[in-house]
Amino acid sequence: MVEATARFVKLKMKEWKESNLVLMKEAISVLLVMTQHCEDIPKRAVAIYTPFLCDKIGDIKLNGPIKEELLNCAEFCTAKFISVQVVKKGLEAKAPNNIKESCNFLTSLVQDFGAGRVAIKEVIDFAVNSSNNANK
């Protein structure tokens, strides 16, 4: 049921290409409600949402709820899974603000869950790649 809801939201958001801020906030709210009220959230449902969350993490209006939601998802799907998803989408990001906020989120993920529960090799590689970015 949770995965079906995530797929429905993705379709309503036009494959995450919707630019309406109110709709984006509501899509994040749907995932927030699922993480607060569901006992189990499958990784597939979170994997549906992570491209959207990682693409919008640099947006100042959505930054706080997205980071909170990614931390909630890390409790359900392991911090390692979330860190790999953020690194994967962060390597594709072109906007310097997305890269910066991805680094900030990974820092807070390591602080909250510890280095042993995060994909530390990928995080270090992402940090090296981010520090070599043309847009400092």
pLDDT in tens, 89-103: 988 888 889 999 999
Residue 41 CA to its chain's centroid (Å): 15
Convert the pLDDT of each residue in 50-73 to its tens digit.
Answer: 999 999 998 999 999 999 999 999
Is 90 exceeded by the pLDDT of residue 131? no
CB 61 within 8 A of CB 28: no
Is 70 exceeded by the pLDDT of residue 42? yes
* Percent with pLDDT over 90 in the chain: 48
Is 90 exceeded by the pLDDT of residue 81? yes
pTM of the model: 0.87
Is 70 exceeded by the pLDDT of residue 33? yes
Q: Apex CA 44: angle with CA 105 and CA 113, to 5°? A: 35
Average pLDDT of the residues in 72-87 = 91
Other Cβ atoms within 10 Å of 30 Cβ, number: 15
Distant-in-sequence, close-in-space partners of 135: CB < 8 Å, separation ≥ 6: 96, 99
Ramachandran assignment for 40, one of left (phi > 0), alpha (psi -120 to 50 degrees), beta (any other):
beta
How high is the pLDDT of residue 125?
Answer: 92
